[in-house]
Amino acid sequence: MDAPTRISQVLGNPDLIFTLTPEGQVATLGWPLAEHCDLSLSQFLGQPWLGLVAAGDRPALEQSLQTLPTPTQPLSQPCALVLDAYRLQGHLHLYCLAGTESPSPLMGRMIIQQVAPNPDMAAPAAPVNYSRKLTQITWNIRRTLDLDTIWQQTVDGLSALFEVDRGLICPYHPGDTALTVVAEVCPPHLASWQGRSLELADHPCIRKALSAPQPMVEIWDPDRCGLDDGGMMLVVATRYQEAPNGLIIMHLVDDAAWSSEELELVSELADQVGTAIAHASLFSESQSLTEKLQAVNQSLRQKHEELEEARRQAEEASRLKSEFLANTSHELRTPLNGMIGFLRLILDGMADDPEEQREFLDEAHNSALHLLNLINDVLDIAKIEAGKMQIDMAPVHLPELFQAVENFTRPQAERKGLAFEINHPATRDEIILHGNYQRLLQVMLNLVGNAIKFTHEGSVSISAELKSQKLPFQGQEWPGLVKISVADTGIGVSLEKQNRLFQTFSQVDGERTRQYGGTGLGLAISQKLVEAMGGVVKFISMGEGLGSTVTFTALLYQEPVLIDMEDMETEEEEED
């Protein structure tokens, strides 16, 4: 069904109305269906209006016009108007406007009865349609720099314009031996070629198109080229600065020929697409390079920050080790000087009696033990730093551990006038830990020793709390843990300095360390030992002068039976 008949059936034939100048030229012209017929009515403005009338109808119309119609008696004449490819048949009504303020002496109204193709047109109006739509396709692809959009809009536009069965586009780079389909238009009943690779060796037509400036048309054998159907293939290379950068393929199932005008328009569009592809590729490469440069710049900044942080940490570590060595050397010399001094007194016969000599020997022995403890701390931290600390785990009886700690530390606390207290959990059977006895004793002596050292008045207390929960460690599940706390009413630690307590070679206050003695390694060593036995160490202090509490956890070897408080009260009442 042709366009005029379809328009006539669907929309009817709205009237055509025009006005004329005093010289008989078209001043205004309006027909609502002109747009649907791809007509531009502006081309008829200023033209003699009789030129719009079909040649066979002009003599009768000219004869009727010898007597101009009056405003009250319009002229009515059956005739046909010819607008390029269309012939509008119906009754023409002319109205005389003389004597009015309007500059047009005549107005015409065509009551259209039929719209038919113009048989006198030698060439169809399709090229005008092609040109306008190709311009629209070009405008669409030139207004974007996204390659995917350019590729898809190109095949969409060309496939719709030429009504092909399949439209494809492939990018091309010099040296490619195969092309990949990146955009496609095809009906649902045909298999998609999206992402398919086309080997140049298998398609001579494609190779020719890449080397030839004009489109190539060839009948393709479906068995050879892998198409669902044979038919006519139009292949044209997109170019930029005379170098191919892509390929457009349009497939018609029938053997319809491509006109020379169509081939010329496709060639022009291919050049526009090639330019758009080049610009988009350059933009994409520029954007990719910018992103890479930004990433490299960000990486360099990050590396610089990491190196700067590493340098700062190295300088801080060097400073801390220097401070640690200065304090430690002082701590090592103090007991050593004591040993030498007391032994020299004995050797020089300065002891007045055996009792005083015994006292000198005791002091030298205590200094030797103190020196040994300092050396052990340094050796332990060296092993820990080297990753060579090995701990053998075995059952440890908590009461035995607490008793040993009390034997060592209670005399120290009492000499300073401090209250000393140990609180055991209420259980019916003995609490057994999973750990290393010597290392647990070392940890507790460190913690309790610190509590006594930094407490001048008040108390030091030790307590244990059972927590029943399944814990995995070293490939085995344990029934729970014991949380051991060492609390004191001593000098405490400010909140901002607490994060340095467990750092190796880091001392909260160098002046304080020199004042109270010690290497400052006790907490760091204790933390490493507890963690190696599956526990956790925590330090709690509300601030300077507010005392402190250090807690650590140890695994339970077996879960003891707890004593209910009500049962204990009942037993006590029965004993009374």
Question: CA geometry: angle at 349 spanning 344 and 352, to 5°?
Answer: 120
In order of start, what are the domains of the chain with their CATH numbers? 3-122 (3.30.450.20), 127-285 (3.30.450.40), 390-568 (3.30.565.10)
**Residue 165 phi, psi dihedral angles, 5° rounding:** -85, -25
Q: Among residues 367, 360, 352, 437, which one has the least CA distance to residue 402? A: 437
Rounded CA separation 509/141 (Å): 72
State the pLDDT at residue 332: 73
**What does the DSSP 8-state code read for residue 498?**
G
Torsion on CA atoms 561, 567, 569, 572, rounded to nearest 10: -80
Rounded CA separation 507/521 (Å): 8
Rounded CA separation 555/244 (Å): 75
State the pLDDT at residue 225: 56
Per DSSP, which regions of 127-188 are E strands? 166-171, 178-180, 183-185
State the pLDDT at residue 7: 44
Rounded CA separation 498/266 (Å): 78
Q: What is the largest CA-CA distance in the chain?
A: 166
Put the strands of the sheet holding 166-171 in their side by side order. Answer: 183-185, 166-171, 243-252, 231-240, 216-220
Cβ atoms 200, 177 nearer than 8 A = yes
State the pLDDT at residue 82: 87
State the pLDDT at residue 402: 94
Rounded CA separation 479/386 (Å): 32
Torsion on CA atoms 437, 442, 447, 451, rounded to nearest 10: 120
**What does the DSSP 8-state code read for residue 229?**
S
State the pLDDT at residue 129: 60
**What does the DSSP 8-state code read for residue 163?**
T
Whether the CA torsion 510, 512, 515, 520 is positive or negative: it is negative
Cβ atoms 244, 237 nearer than 8 A = yes
Going from the first residue of the chain to its last (576 residues), give the mean pLDDT of each consecutive group of 10, the final group possibly shorter. 44 75 84 77 85 84 73 78 83 71 69 77 51 78 84 87 86 91 87 87 85 79 57 86 89 71 83 87 86 90 90 80 67 78 86 86 82 75 71 91 91 92 87 91 89 91 91 90 93 74 55 53 83 90 85 90 62 55
Distances (CA, A) of 506 to 70, 140, 323, 324: 116, 68, 9, 8
Q: How many helices (H) and strands (E) does the chain have?
A: 13, 19
Rounded CA separation 392/390 (Å): 7
